Amino acid sequence: MATSTGIHLGAWRAGWARRENARRGREHERASSVWKRADAELRSLASTARTPRPVAADQVPWLDLRPGEQVWWHSPAVRLVRAAGPVPTLRRPRFHDFTPSQLAGPFADRVPAELRVVDAGPLAITDRRVVFGGTQRREWVLVRLAALAHDPDRAITWLSAAGTHDGPPFGLVLDPYAVAGFRFHLIRALAEIAGRRNEFAAHLERLRAAHQRERPPPPPTAGPADAPNPVRLPLAALARLYAGPSGASAFRRVTQCVAMVAMTLALASVALPALPAFPRPSATASGRLAAAGLGGAGEDTESLVPHGSDDVNGSDTQGPGPDAARPFAPSPRVSRSRQAGVATPRPSAPATRRPSAAAGGGQGRGRDLPQAQDPADSAGSSGSQDSAGLSGPAGSSGSSGSSGSSGSAGSSGGADRCGAPANPYGYHFCGYGRPIASPEPGVCGYFRCTTDFWAGTGYLVQCRDDAISMDGGHRGACAGHRGVLRMLRGTPGR
C-alpha cells in the first residue's frame, strides 16, 4: 500500500511540474509580447522624431497655411471643452517629461459632467501652431504655449497660452485612437520649434535603452521536488476563498468571509431536498389500517358507507355493474363492531386509488377510468415544436439579413474602394493592389486606428470591430479587436 501511494504521489508531482512549467512559459510569452510591442513603439517614435514626414496640404483644405508652414498631424473631429471648476495642474511643456505611458490607453471617450462642450471641428498641428477649425477658429502658437496637461484616464489635453486672461484653459477631447498621435506630435513640434529635435530623439533612444534592460528573463524550470504538499492545496484554496488573500486588509477579508458564508448557506438551502410531508393517520380503526397500508381491494369498502337507522343491514342494496344480481351482505366483521343506527364515516381515499369492483359508481370490475388529455399540453407541445422549427430558419435569415445590410452599407461608401472611407491615399478594401507596410502619417484621420497602431511592424489590416492595425502578417494580429477581417490595400503605382 505504501509503495502504491508513493508511486501515485510521484506521478502527481511530475504532472504538477509539467503543468507549472507550461504556465510559466505562457506568462513569459505574454510578458515578452508586451515588451516587444513597447520596444517597437519606441523605435518608431525615435525614427519619426529624427525624420518627420509632413502631411500634404490638400488633406487639410480648411486650414490656411502660411508661407513655408508644414502640417505634421491632423484629425477631422475634435471637441473643444471648457472646465466649470478646477482642472489638472498644468506644467510648462518639456520633452524631458515625455514617457510612453502618456500614449498608452485605454482612454475614456465620455466627456465628464463638469465639462462644457464649447465647439466641435477639425484639428491640425503644424510646425508653428495648433489650430482648431470649429465654428470659431482658435489657435495656440507653439512659442507662446505656456502650459499643458494630459489627462491620464481620459482623451483630454488641456492647453493654456501665455498672456491670456480669459478664464480657465481650454481642453481638446479627441477620439481614443487619435490620442497617441496628437500627444506625440505636439511634444515633437514643441521640441522642434525650440531647435531641440535631435535632443528629443536622443531622449527617446535613452528610453528605449532603459526598456531594453527591462526585458523579461526566462522563468526558472520547476521540478517534481518543487511541488507543494497535495493536502495543503485544497485547504489553502478554501482559506483564500473564504478569508481572502493574505495581503488584503482586515475589512476586505471580513467582508469576503461574511459574503462567502451567506452564499454557502443559500446554496445549501437550495441544494438540499425538502423533507417529505407524511399524512397524519385517521383516528378510526379503518383510518389506521389505511395509513398502515393494510387496506386494499379485499377490504369490504361498501360496509364503510354511511347508513341510516333503517338500512343498517342493507340487505336489499345492490350495486350496479356485473355483480348487480348478487345480493349484497355487509361484512360481519364490521357489522359486529358498529352499533345499530350509527353511521360509520368513510375515510377519504387517495386520489390514485381505483374504485372497488363492489362499490357503486357505474364502472365494472377491473375497469380503469379513461384519462382525457389536457388541451394545454397538446397546444404547448405543438407550440414548442413550431417555435423550435422557426428558431433555426429565423435566426439564419436574421443573420443573413444583417450581414447583407452591412455589406450594402459598406458598398455605398464607394464602389471603387469596396467600403473604405474616402481618403486621399487611395486605400481600399478591394482584392487588388499592394499591401501597405508604410502608411501615410495622416491615415488615422480617415480610418479608426488601434491604440498601438504605430507600434505595428506588419501591413495594414482591418479588425472585426472596424479598427485598422499595422500587425498584418503577424500571429495575434487584432488580438484585442476580435481578429482580422480583411486587408487594407493601396492603389498600384502610389
Predicted pLDDT at 21: 95
CA distance 201 to 218: 31
**Residue 151 lies inside a defined structural domain of this protein:** yes
pLDDT at 420 over 80: yes
Give the pLDDT band of residue 403 (cuts 50, 70, 90): very low
CA distance 442 to 425: 9
- For the segment 151-176, what is each residue's pLDDT rounded down to a tens digit? 888 888 888 886 555 556 888 999 88
The residue-averaged pLDDT of 377-406 equals 38
CA distance 326 to 315: 11
Greatest alpha-carbon pair distance for the chain in Å reads 131
Among 63-72, 122-131, 360-369, which is the least confidently predicted range?
360-369
The residue-averaged pLDDT of 428-440 equals 88
> Of 165, 196, 227, at which residue does a domain stop?
196
Burial of 200 (0-12, 13-18, 19+ CB in 10 A): buried
Q: pTM score, two decimals? A: 0.45
How high does pLDDT run on average in the chain?
Answer: 73
> Of 196, 211, 239, at which residue does a domain stop?
196
Among 36-45, 208-217, 401-410, which is the least confidently predicted range?
401-410
For residue 226, give every residue at least 6 positions away whose Cβ sits within 8 Å of its Cβ, in sequence order, or none.
17, 20
Predicted pLDDT at 405: 36
The three cell numbers of residue 98 are 515625455
**Residue 381 lies inside a defined structural domain of this protein:** no
Predicted pLDDT at 337: 42
CA distance 363 to 324: 12
CA distance 275 to 395: 44
Which run of H or of E encompasses 117?
A: strand 115-126
The three cell numbers of residue 91 are 506644467
CATH number at residue 162: 2.30.29.30
Predicted pLDDT at 250: 84
Give the pLDDT band of residue 116 (cuts 50, 70, 90): confident
The three cell numbers of residue 289 are 389500517
Task: Please write down the long-range contacts of 480-484, taking CB distance under 8 Å and 24 or more positions apart.
Answer: 480/450, 481/450
Count Cβ neighbours within 10 Å for each residue of 173-188 and write b for 16 or more, e otherwise: bbbbbbbbbbbbbbbb
**Residue 413 lies inside a defined structural domain of this protein:** no
244: left (phi over 0), alpha (psi -120 to 50) or beta: left
Predicted pLDDT at 247: 73
Residue 489 or residue 152, greater confidence? 489
Parallel, antiparallel, or unpaired: how do β-strands 115-126 and 434-435 relate?
unpaired
Sheet bearing 459-463, strands edge to edge: 468-472, 459-463, 484-487
**Cβ count within 10 A of residue 371:** 6
**Residue 394 lies inside a defined structural domain of this protein:** no
Give the pLDDT band of residue 120 (cuts 50, 70, 90): very high
Parallel, antiparallel, or unpaired: how do β-strands 115-126 and 170-173 relate?
unpaired
- When divided into structural domains, the chain yields a total of 2
Q: What is the CA radius of gyration of the chain?
A: 42
- Which residue segment(s) compose the domain that 132 sits in? 57-196
**Residue 389 lies inside a defined structural domain of this protein:** no
* Beta partners for residue 145, in sequence order: 161
* 3-state secondary structure (DSSP) of residue 408: helix
> Of 169, 196, 223, at which residue does a domain stop?
196
**Residue 410 lies inside a defined structural domain of this protein:** no
**Residue 409 lies inside a defined structural domain of this protein:** no
DSSP structure class, residue 55? B
Write out the DSSP string of 274-295: PPP-PPPPPSSHHHHHHHTT--
pLDDT at 373 over 70: no
**Residue 83 lies inside a defined structural domain of this protein:** yes
